[in-house]
Structure 1
Amino acid sequence: MAKLRRRTISKRTVEALPVGGREAVYWDSSLPGFGVRVYPSGSKVYLVQTRAGGRSRRLTLGRHGLITADQARRKAAQVIADIKAGNEPVLHNGASPADAGPTVAEVAERFMTEHVAVRCKPATQRQCRDILDRYLLPGLGNVRLGQIGRERVAALHYSLHQTPTMANKVVDLLSRLFNMAELWGIAPEGGNPCRFVRKYAEPPRERFLSDDEFRRLGRVLAEVEAEGKVQPSAVAAFRLLMLTGCRKSEILTLRWEDVDLDAGELRLRDAKTGARAVAISPSARRVLEGLPRVPGNPWVIASTKPGRRVTNINSPWLLIRARAGLNDVRIHDLRHSFASRALALGESLPMIGKLLGHRKVQTTARYAHLALDSVKASAARVAESLRADLAGDKEAPRSAG
């Protein structure tokens, strides 16, 4: 949360306020509800907060430099009086709160600092920052949050329609930003303009390896390992991905202290859906036993650099999949293929969810069509076994009467 401080707000005190790595709000000691927010970017924005009708409202008055501390104080007093009287406040030059609120860039910095950095894993943090820097801030960074309506969001979404998955991700992130702004009292309740944007249908991302493709992949892994073209620990990582159904990040961040061969478990402390245990099959156990335990290096997939782990297996994967003739297969598809093989062997969807560490049933439901395929195949085998008998009954000679 933003820090709370109290002092007399004046031109001198505002200009002397320190700029830190996080936002800080300083409240005026003489006019309750009047304050100034200091952003990590160095921007200082006057604000007013008051309560009416059982709910709190926080409005932006303007940036320091565009209005003075005295002007902001007078506007704050007027806003407080307007809201208490049941009137909609009017800010500088007849502008509404929407025209005087924080910009998308200002809210984005708070969003990244107070929400994403606290609640999201590093990979998600990087993805959020990338979407902000590439898609949202260039066009919307200087736009006031309250000035963004449905039409603008729809236009942004449409501008990315040739990449539907990314278009949906951009709107999702903008929607989350609006939701947090609403929670912080700097956006009106129920005013998220992203709510009405209809998402694009996304092309299926699942790719499942056939039995023959698994064999080809296994053969190539053995070849590149023998030839020394791929680091042995990276080869082991691919084998563990195929044999456990784990996520790439779960295998690459696995420590030896999390491996219990006696209990037959991998204890994932920081998995995407929370801590969980993964059963070690005999095949996975052999892979783990074949890996050296490097003194001073806690990582299972150890780098050649002292004390470090392998952090990127994308490059060797491009080599491996090209040699195996699997250019359309992503590393994450190994996890999908683990699930499809389990279904083919008759495992239930709830069991698949446990194997993969899914927290929600809906996540495992994506494999329902594979389960139906197995049912269809089973029905076909039963029907085929009956076909000859039925044909035999039909062609059986009648007894002479």
Structure 2
Amino acid sequence: MTKKFNFTKAEIDSLTLPASGKRDTYQDTKVSGLHLRISSTGIKTFSVFKRIRGGNPERITLGRFPDMTIDQARRKTMEINLAIADGRSPAEAKRKLKSELLFSELFEEYLERHSKPKKKTWTEDLEKYKNHIEKPLGKRKLSEIDRAAISLIHSNITKAGHPIAANRILALISSVFGWAISVGLWENNPAIGIRRNKEKSRDRFIQSDELPRFFQALAEEPNETIRDYVLISLLTGARRSNVCSMKWQDINFERAEWRIEATKNDTPQTVTLSPEAVEVLQNRKSDDSEFVFPGIGKSGHLQEPRKGWERILKSAGIKDLRLHDLRRTLGSWQAKTGASLAIIGKSLNHKNQNTTAIYARLDLDPVRDSVNTATSAMLAAGGLTKPGEIVQFKKNK
């Protein structure tokens, strides 16, 4: 006779092994049809054992304990019970179980069908997946991933001292499941309901006393592409992905403008180029690539400048500064030199419903004046030049 008890990890771990060559079977009292079979070698296997409309009973193997948790086994058993109640046979239910996507397969679909076509930052999604998600979730079937599994990932990253990164990873997992629901690949989002870490608005930018060391480290940076990329990021305040994919065809040297057709806000942007930014770009001008900052990857342009950025910060002795803070640095120096919030918002292409109407009435002239003034002030604080003079940045050889 099959022994019955409420499956718990402690109870299952304490089960005695049957005699050599024998196998014991136990039945869960919480979910009908869920069995646990244990062999004399200690292998414990979950299965569903059901009789269909008075016929012979059939057994469907689910997985081994503890690789499959009790909750996962119960959830799969309930799915099979529901399929049988709908008139499907256990064999059909088993085929459905076997055809279920792994998370790695779902992420690949998400990347190719959603992230790459619609997000300029798709490489960041891939990086997050490989660094934080692939190992704990990649080989799991979707039904095996519950809120507890995702919460554990969020908690571990948070405990490692990266609360904001933990939130971003959680957001990506939720996005993958949300997209899967929208295209009919899955039915629920187990990431919903997990509490995010509190985030403070970041106000870090390069301070006056840091600018001399920062520009000195830039001058000593051996990789000219990284050096110029950082300079253009600082002098334009543009987002990282837009600077990385900057094309020569989008730059008008006569008008000192850079046209970005697609930004994060899904709106085009015309970026005014200061005289210093124009000089950096003219020194880089080349017919060898369509991109201002070429790279060796499939995209053809620079993808990940992080290592070079970390090298510059180490040389400058500056801590807690991110690439995105270069964007905030320009805006902060615009504010320091008297620019209005509307001017700053237009120059950085901020999307704010309360000020959209104001932005729409602004032309580039006051924006240009503000960017040029802020640029001159930054360089003067860095000890490189007097306001209004063009810095002779180190030229490419």
Compute the displacement of 1:262 (Å). Answer: 1.9
CA 1:136 to 1:89, structure 2 compared with 1: closer, same or farther past 3 Å? farther
Range moving further from structure 2, 329-338 or 151-160 = 151-160
State the AA in 2 paired with 1:144.
K
Unaligned runs of 5+ in 2: 1-60, 62-81, 357-397
Contact 2:226 2:309 in 1 (8 A): no
**Could you tell me which residue of structure 2 aligns to residue 106 of structure 1?**
105
Contact 2:257 2:273 in 1 (8 A): yes
* Larger RCO, structure (CA 8 Å, separation 6 or more): 2
Q: Deviations over 1:313-333 (max 9, x none)?
A: 545544433343324323332
Contact 1:98 1:144 in 2 (8 A): no
CA 1:145 to 1:255, structure 2 compared with 1: closer, same or farther past 3 Å? closer
**Could you tell me which residue of structure 1 aligns to residue 276 of structure 2?**
283
Range moving further from structure 2, 90-99 or 136-145 = 90-99
Compute the displacement of 1:165 (Å). Answer: 2.5
TM-score when scaled to structure 1?
0.56
State the AA in 1 paired with 2:274.
S
Q: Deviations over 1:215-260 (max 9, x none)?
A: 3323444x52xxxx53555433333222211234433432332221
Distance in 1, matches of 2:139 and 2:315, equals: 48
Compute the displacement of 1:202 (Å). Answer: 4.0
Distance in 1, matches of 2:257 and 2:317, equals: 33
Contact 1:97 1:146 in 2 (8 A): no
Match of 1:201 among 188, 191, 198: 198
Distance in 2, matches of 1:89 and 1:363, equals: 58
Contact 1:241 1:334 in 2 (8 A): yes
Distance in 2, matches of 1:159 and 1:362, equals: 38
Match of 1:159 among 149, 156, 159: 156
**Could you tell me which residue of structure 2 aligns to residue 182 of structure 1?**
181
What SS does the corresponding residue of 1:277 show, helix, strand or coil?
A: strand
CA 1:164 to 1:247, structure 2 compared with 1: closer, same or farther past 3 Å? same
Match of 2:332 among 329, 340, 347: 340
Contact 2:228 2:280 in 1 (8 A): yes
What SS does the corresponding residue of 2:271 show, helix, strand or coil?
A: strand
Distance in 2, matches of 1:182 and 1:262, equals: 49
Map 1:18-167 to 2 at 5 A: 88=86, 92=90, 101-121=100-120, 124-162=121-159, 163-167=162-166
Distance in 1, matches of 2:140 and 2:146, equals: 11
Q: Deviations over 1:315-360 (max 9, x none)?
A: 5544433343324323332111111112223333343222112335
Distance in 2, matches of 1:288 and 1:136, equals: 38
**Could you tell me which residue of structure 1 aligns to residue 236 of structure 2?**
244
Range moving further from structure 2, 140-149 or 164-173 = 140-149
**Could you tell me which residue of structure 2 aligns to residue 235 of structure 1?**
227
TM-score when scaled to structure 2?
0.56
Q: Deviations over 1:144-199 (max 9, x none)?
A: 323433333333332333132232223222211221221222333xx322221110
What SS does the corresponding residue of 1:207 show, helix, strand or coil?
A: coil
CA 1:96 to 1:146, structure 2 compared with 1: closer, same or farther past 3 Å? farther
Contact 1:146 1:187 in 2 (8 A): no
CA 1:117 to 1:248, structure 2 compared with 1: closer, same or farther past 3 Å? closer
Range moving further from structure 2, 132-141 or 327-336 = 132-141
Contact 1:104 1:141 in 2 (8 A): yes
Identical pairs, percent: 26
State the AA in 2 paired with 1:269.
E
Matched, 1:265 2:264: no
How many residue pairs are counted as aligned between the two chains?
271
CA 1:96 to 1:172, structure 2 compared with 1: closer, same or farther past 3 Å? farther
Contact 1:91 1:97 in 2 (8 A): no
Distance in 2, matches of 1:94 and 1:117, equals: 35
CA 1:173 to 1:297, structure 2 compared with 1: closer, same or farther past 3 Å? closer
What SS does the corresponding residue of 1:102 show, helix, strand or coil?
A: coil
Compute the displacement of 1:362 (Å). Answer: 9.7
Compute the displacement of 1:278 (Å). Answer: 0.1
RMSD of the TM alignment (CA)? 4.0
State the AA in 2 paired with 1:110.
E
CA 1:236 to 1:362, structure 2 compared with 1: closer, same or farther past 3 Å? farther
Distance in 2, matches of 1:270 and 1:199, equals: 30
